[in-house]
Amino acid sequence: MKLSIGGIQNLLRQAGWPEDLIVTAAAVFYFESAGGNTEAHKVDSVERSYGLAQVNTNAWPYSPDQLYDPLFNLQVAYQIYLKQGWRAWYNTYYGGRYRQYLGASQAAYDQGSTATYELPGVLPPSSSGDIGIATVVAIVAGVLFVSLILDL
Domain extents for the chain?
A: 5-118, 128-152
Q: Please check whether residue 38 is in contact with residue 51, taking contact to mean a CB–CB distance below 8 angstroms.
A: yes
Name the residue with higher pLDDT: 117 or 9.
9
Q: For the CA atoms of 43, 22, 119, 89, what is the dihedral angle to 10 degrees?
A: 0
Query: Mean pLDDT in the chain?
Result: 81
- How far CA 27 is from CA of 21, 60, 61, 75, 108, in Å, comes to 10, 22, 25, 16, 11
What pLDDT sits at residue 90? 96
Give the lowest-confidence range in 13-22, 37-46, 77-86. 37-46
Backbone φ, ψ for residue 55 (5° rounding): -75, 130
Widest distance between CA atoms in the chain: 55
Distance between CA 95 and CA 93 in Å, rounded? 5
- In three-state secondary structure terms, 10 is helix
pTM over 0.95, yes/no: no
Give domain 5-118's CATH architecture: Orthogonal Bundle (1.10)
List all residues 6 or more positions away from 108 whose beta carbon is below 8 Å from its beta carbon.
4, 5, 6, 9, 26
Q: Does residue 133 have a pLDDT over 70?
A: no
